[in-house]
Amino acid sequence: MNGTAIAERPVNAAEQPVAMRHAFGADAYASRRGAPVALGLDQVAGTPRAYGVTVTSGERIARRRAALTALDPLVRRQIPGLWPAPALAQVDLTIYDLIFPAAVDTGGHWTATVAFFGVFAHAVLSYTVALVFDEADQPHHFAISGARTITTADTSAAALAAGIAAAAAAGPLLTGAWNAYVNVGI
């Protein structure tokens, strides 16, 4: 640079929709306003087209929601196999209400957590069972994450049981933190 600085100009409110259209494409901006959007990620700048079908994202989400709801009892029956004391685990289902560009094939996940609280620290142990969809939004396989990620062959009960056994052998994801500042002094 020749000693000249270019001041960064803030985007005013009237220009924000234009900036969003430029960064994410007109269709991505339309979806934020509630309008149906044709399937595919080619409207996001710089991303390859993910799927070639033409249905609205609302229909895709509804299909995924139905599949997650149908598989919910199966997964909830199998998840206690992850823990030595299954009564301690809390299991929650999260159904995504958007299709995220970073994970277009994942429609939701179950999280199983156990929390331990001590005087000086606490820890949370967790597993996540994500349902992965194919190009036609049909359930394809499970991805079970703990200390490592296990991918099942399909969405059958036997495949899920084998995946849960492999994830349990590796152990849960462990997150811990101090409850108070333990260092005394400066």
Query: Does 23 share its domain with 90?
Result: no
Do 112 and 123 meet the contact criterion of CB atoms below 8 Å apart? no
pLDDT digits (tens, 9 = 90+) for 11-58: 334 443 443 334 444 444 344 444 344 434 344 333 334 444 444 578
* Residues, the chain: 186
For residue 64, is pLDDT > 50? Answer: yes
Query: Does 130 share its domain with 87?
Result: yes
What contacts 29, CB < 8 A, 6 or more positions away? 17, 20, 21
43: three-class secondary structure by DSSP: coil
Which ranges in 25-140 belong to alpha helices (H)?
26-32, 57-78
Query: Does 50 share its domain with 82?
Result: no
Query: Does 85 share its domain with 169?
Result: yes
| Tokens coding 54 | 């033409």
- Report if residue 144 sits inside a domain: yes
141: three-class secondary structure by DSSP: strand
Quote the DSSP letter at residue 9: P
Say what the pLDDT of residue 169 is. 94
Mean pLDDT confidence for 145-149: 95
pLDDT digits (tens, 9 = 90+) for 77-136: 999 888 887 778 889 999 998 888 888 899 999 999 999 888 888 999 999 999 999 988
* Strand partners for 109: 94, 130
Residue 139, CA distances (Å) to 59, 65, 165 in order: 15, 11, 21
Q: Taking the model in full, what pTM does it have?
A: 0.66
Say what the pLDDT of residue 86 is. 75
Which range of residues forms the domain containing residue 122? 71-178
Distance CA 56, CA 32 (A): 13
Query: Does 48 share its domain with 76?
Result: no
Say what the pLDDT of residue 97 is. 85
Q: In total, how many domains does the chain have? A: 2
Say what the pLDDT of residue 99 is. 84
Query: Does 90 share its domain with 34?
Result: no
